[in-house]
């Protein structure tokens, strides 16, 4: 027999699935916007170590100086892991996380731990870059 409890549970599950789908769609839209920005805006160049040092000394100042800007970062790959919504996270030695969206996942697949790389992406603050793509790799 179908009760109010069953109906409530059905409605809860339905809206949870709907919310998850919209969250993923919103994330994809944000990723596309970041990709457009990264491809069209000149970059600020610095090493992953310099960005790490700026964050360590004063994260508020580093965020004010770099947040929302497209950065060209040079560093050594420490770790490559799966992220959310099909993204791949490439961690550089100096605690900088470079998020490669699904469309640029082939760039992340070219890298190995220890490679010296140049990565371009939008700095989101706190050591995180999004919309990243590989500019150069030294084996």
- Token pair, residue 64, equals 């004010």
Supply φ then ψ for residue 66, to 5 degrees. -115, -25
CATH class of 39-138: mainly beta
Q: What kind and span of H or E run contains 106?
A: helix 105-109
Mean pLDDT of 37-43: 68
CA 69, distance to chain mean position in Å, is 14
What are the boundaries of each domain within the chain? Answer: 39-138
Share of the chain above pLDDT 90, in %: 60
pLDDT per residue over 57-112, tens digit each? 999 999 999 999 999 999 999 999 988 778 999 999 999 999 998 888 899 999 99
- b/e per residue 39-52 (b: at least 16 CB within 10 A): eeeebeebbbbebb
């Amino acid at each position: 027999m179908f009760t109010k409890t069953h109906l409530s549970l059905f409605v809860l599950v339905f809206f949870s699935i709907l919310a998850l789908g919209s969250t993923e769609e919103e994330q994809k839209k944000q990723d596309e916007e970041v990709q457009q920005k990264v491809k069209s805006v000149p970059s600020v160049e610095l090493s992953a170590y310099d960005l790490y040092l700026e964050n360590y000394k004063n994260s508020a100042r580093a965020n004010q100086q770099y947040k929302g800007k497209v950065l060209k970062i040079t560093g050594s790959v420490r770790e490559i892991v799966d992220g959310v919504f099909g993204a791949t996270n490439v961690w550089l030695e100096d605690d900088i996380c470079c998020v490669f969206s699904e469309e640029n996942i082939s760039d992340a697949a070219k890298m190995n731990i220890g490679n010296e790389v140049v990565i371009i992406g939008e700095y989101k603050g706190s050591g995180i870059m999004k919309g990243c793509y590989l500019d150069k790799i030294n084996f």
